[in-house]
Amino acid sequence: MLFHVHMTVNIPLDLDKIYVDELKAREKNLSQELQRQGKWTHIWRIAGKYANISIFNVASAGELHDLLLSLPLFPFMEIEVTALCQHGSSVKNEEEAH
């Protein structure tokens, strides 16, 4: 299943910088591991914001939920999820669309 995920990060300014840097490093490692596994298929920075638009390709909404909750920055994120399905006018087949 494909999901469009909009993540906005809001880290309180008074958090310890070393702790925040460690969270960001752990977040990057996990994000890149999930990208290598083919579960986090796209990630784009939203220009001018500490936010991203991502596409996830996972087995279920439950898997996506667990994965998002496991992100080190999850406590500081606002997340909007939109489930996607094949558009009837798409010239790509379902496999190519991923």
Ligand X SMILES: O=C(O)C[C@H]1C=CC(=O)O1
Site string for ligand X, 8-47 (x = CB under 6 A): -x-----------------xx--x----------------
* Residue (28 or 92) nearer to ligand X, CB: 28
Q: How far is the CB of 8 from ligand X (least distance, A)?
A: 8
Residue 52 within binding range of ligand X, rule CB under 6 A? yes
25: phi then psi, degrees, rounded to nearest 5: -65, -40
Query: CA-based angle 33:34:35, to the nearest 5?
Result: 90
**Strands (DSSP E) found in the chain:** 2-9, 40-45, 51-57, 77-84
The contact set with ligand X (CB under 6 A) reads: 7, 9, 27-28, 31, 52, 73
